[in-house]
Amino acid sequence: MEKILVVDDDECFLESMVTMLEADYAVHGCARAAEALAWACAHQPDLIFLDVMMDDIDGYELCRRLQACPATRAIPLIFISSLDSVQDETRGLALGAIDYLTKPVNPAITRARIRNHIKLKRGEEQLRRLSATMEDLILQRTAQLNQALDAAKIAERTKDAFLANITHELRTPLAAVLGFAGLALPLCTDPQQQQYLEKIAVAGNLLSGIVNDLLDLSKIAAGSMQLETLSFSLRSLLARDLSIMSYKAAEKGLELNQRVDPEVPDDLVGDPLRLEQILLNLLSNALKFTASGRIDLRIGLCGREAGRIGLALEVEDTGIGLRPEEMASLFKPFSQADASMTRKFGGTGLGLAICKRLAEMMDGEISVSSRAGHGATFRVKVWFGLGRPGESLPTPQAARPLARRLYHDVRVLVVDDQAFNRDVVEGLLAVVGITPRHACNGHEALELLGVAGERFDLVLMDIQMPVMDGLTATRVIRQLPGLEALPIIAMTAHTMAHERAQHLADGMNDHIGKPFDEDSFYRLLARWIPAAKQRPYTDTDAGAGRAASTMPAIPGIDTGAGLALLQHDEARYRRWLRDFVGWAPTAIAAVRAALAAHQAEAASMAAHALKGRCGLLGMKDLHGVAAALEAAIDGAAPAAALLLDLERGALAVCGALRSALGSELESPPALTSDHGGER
């Protein structure tokens, strides 16, 4: 039964109202406003009748107090008064009353209004409950959707991280497979075995291309793919790409034509490597699916803006063409037009997906038009900045003169536990006018930065070091006063996407992988050293040229790559090669001893040092085996066979060094592959 509160200081009227309503409702009467306010708060009536003129507090004031109290704010209130002017009624309704009745009241009309207002109140309460229920359901469903979205994002990140990791891990043993096959081929005299080795090389290179595609896709998906900003010559780039593809077209008896609109500028700014990737992918596809006829490459303009142009690329072929349903999934990863088990054409279905994402990164798009049996036309729109004549570089590799600058009054701290690594970095820095300070571990770096208080413009920090590693040192440095913004660059062979993310999360500003790419190294310096301490590196600075190298060819070593990292200082390079002959047995023995003692971390660090030294000296095959060994140790996988391969490979390289360098070498400890019958 609904409760009604009647408030009136006229005892006679109050009694008549109670008597009139008590048959249908639980009615309570109050003659004083204070008593009515307390009762309303305690009992929550469904409706209140309120007189206007009362002794203690008038009805208007009581209405304000009821409206101000959270417990009574929602209770419907009807003024009932002898005051019958429009102004009085308006005032009452303005205060929040739902109705206004004048005395004397008509019982029938009063009951009807009560029924209507209570019915309306019930509807409002039901609506509020429904609204609250709906709100709870919406919140619950939103929470579920957010959880599902978070789970999907975690799954996507996990997939991307796995894809990035597995492609990196695949590249390491694959490099060893290709390297050892290449070493074995010239030594092999049996024609059938030579054929097998050649097939291994062909299959390995094919697999390497697939792994590179997977790595690109994982980088794009993880948001870690970065586009370069370089000046380049479009027509030089096209000439190089067409020279690559023309002989393949000739093998199939196809015409390969190109047309570049004269309005297209030659000097552009952007990422020429990724543009080449798109072009070569589209041309390779056209060659693959065209048995006869021609392939046309057309390049024009699709737009102009301040400082940049839209480049329109078209590759048209006379090949097998595509059906509409095939075009729908053409740019999705791992999708191909012909998915049958007996399909004629190979491939992973990654190339066009990568082209699509690269085009989107260049503010563009890719599309296709085709009819089955009548060829296909792929159209790509991408945007590039406008370069200035004379700045364009014919190839990406020619970017080094731009990347290299000269520096003055620059202080750089190099932190690395390997003396050879420090020597390499010192040589690279010396070319651009920087003499660095050195530290062998994170603790020594902290001594220089914190205790000694030396000031540096840049810190090049190795990650994996004894005493204190680079990540720990960086976290401590970030807590030192005045060093919050000091540029710290990770300098390490740990180059996977999740590892780079960890370096940045621990406070590092950037990352460069080992073995060093000279151009990337100098570009990094230019990015982080203040511009006021830089000036362009000119031909005059480069000097009169390098003396011709007298390095002999050494099996298993790319001496050109090793010399380049040491700035073609042949004396230094020969010294480190001599040092390797004596150092390698000790390093390999350290790995073996740590594995025998079940000290995985020490074994991994020793293998890591071997990997870094081999890579920087140009021992690419040995570098691949050392990397595979480190990965096996870190993954708790069997490592004995890899360690034996590394030892045999090092034995061969050291033998080659003895033969090549001869009298320069003293008699270092000999490597041996005999370990007491160990399997």
CB 355 within 8 A of CB 281: yes
- Confidence tier at 446 by pLDDT (50, 70, 90): very high
CB 388 within 8 A of CB 434: no
- The pLDDT of residue 535 is 82
Within 448-494, where are the H helices?
470-477
Q: What is the mean pLDDT of residues 216-226?
A: 64
Residue 507 has pLDDT above 60, yes or no: yes
Between CA 286 and CA 275 the distance in angstroms is 17
Residue in 67, 76, 121 with CA at minimum distance from that of residue 95: 67
Between CA 400 and CA 582 the distance in angstroms is 35
Assign 465 to helix, strand or coil: coil
Q: What is the mean pLDDT of residues 445-468?
A: 87
Q: Is the pTM of this model over 0.75?
A: no
- The pLDDT of residue 486 is 93
- The pLDDT of residue 218 is 62
pLDDT tens sequence across 530-575: 888 888 766 555 544 455 567 888 888 888 878 877 767 788 888 8
Please provide the average confidence, as pLDDT, over all residues in the chain: 80
Between CA 36 and CA 388 the distance in angstroms is 87
Q: What is the mean pLDDT of residues 289-299?
A: 91
- The pLDDT of residue 670 is 42
Within 10 angstroms of residue 645's Cβ, the number of other Cβ atoms is 19
Top CATH class, 230-387: alpha beta
Top CATH class, 559-664: mainly alpha
- The pLDDT of residue 545 is 45
Using CA atoms in the order 297, 298, 302, 308, what is the torsion angle rounded to 10 degrees? Answer: 80
- Count Cβ atoms within 10 A of the Cβ of residue 187 and give its class: 0-12 exposed, 13-18 middle, 19 or more buried: exposed
Between CA 452 and CA 411 the distance in angstroms is 15
Please, what is the angle between helix 600-617 and helix 570-596, to 10°?
A: 160
Residues sharing a CB contact under 8 Å with residue 579, sequence separation 6 or more, in sequence order: 420
Residues sharing a CB contact under 8 Å with residue 353, sequence separation 6 or more, in sequence order: 217, 331, 332, 333, 334, 335
- The pLDDT of residue 558 is 85
In sign, the C-alpha dihedral spanning 249, 254, 255, 260 is negative
Strand 458-461 and strand 488-492: pairing? parallel
**Residues facing residue 3 across a β-bridge:** 26
Top CATH class, 3-105: alpha beta
- Confidence tier at 342 by pLDDT (50, 70, 90): very low
pLDDT tens sequence across 100-120: 988 888 888 888 888 888 888
Residue in 297, 301, 260 with CA at minimum distance from that of residue 383: 301
- The pLDDT of residue 538 is 61
- Integer Rg of the chain from CA: 40
Between CA 226 and CA 332 the distance in angstroms is 21
pLDDT: is 435 or 177 the higher one?
435
Residues sharing a CB contact under 8 Å with residue 141, sequence separation 6 or more, in sequence order: none
Within 10 angstroms of residue 138's Cβ, the number of other Cβ atoms is 10
- Amino acid present at 12: C
Between CA 599 and CA 305 the distance in angstroms is 61
Assign 389 to helix, strand or coil: coil
Q: What is the mean pLDDT of residues 128-140?
A: 85
Q: Give the whole-number percent of the chain exceeding pLDDT 70.
A: 81
Q: What is the mean pLDDT of residues 186-208?
A: 74
CB 425 within 8 A of CB 491: yes
Between CA 550 and CA 570 the distance in angstroms is 8
pLDDT tens sequence across 587-617: 898 888 888 888 888 888 888 888 888 887 8
Angle CA(368)–CA(374)–CA(380) in degrees, nearest 5? 20
CATH: 2.60.120.200, 3.40.50.2300, 3.40.50.920, 3.50.50.60. Which one for 404-542? 3.40.50.2300
**Residues facing residue 231 across a β-bridge:** 269
The reply to whether 404-542 shares the fold of 3-105 is yes
Tokens of 272: 């020429």
pLDDT tens sequence across 298-332: 999 999 988 899 999 999 999 888 888 777 777 77
Q: Where are the domains of the chain?
A: 3-105, 167-220, 230-387, 404-542, 559-664
Between CA 599 and CA 173 the distance in angstroms is 24
- Count Cβ atoms within 10 A of the Cβ of residue 628 and give its class: 0-12 exposed, 13-18 middle, 19 or more buried: buried
Q: Give the whole-number percent of the chain exceeding pLDDT 90.
A: 17
Residue 82 has pLDDT above 90, yes or no: no
Instruction: Classify 253 in phi/psi space as left (phi over 0), alpha (psi -120 to 50) or beta.
Output: left
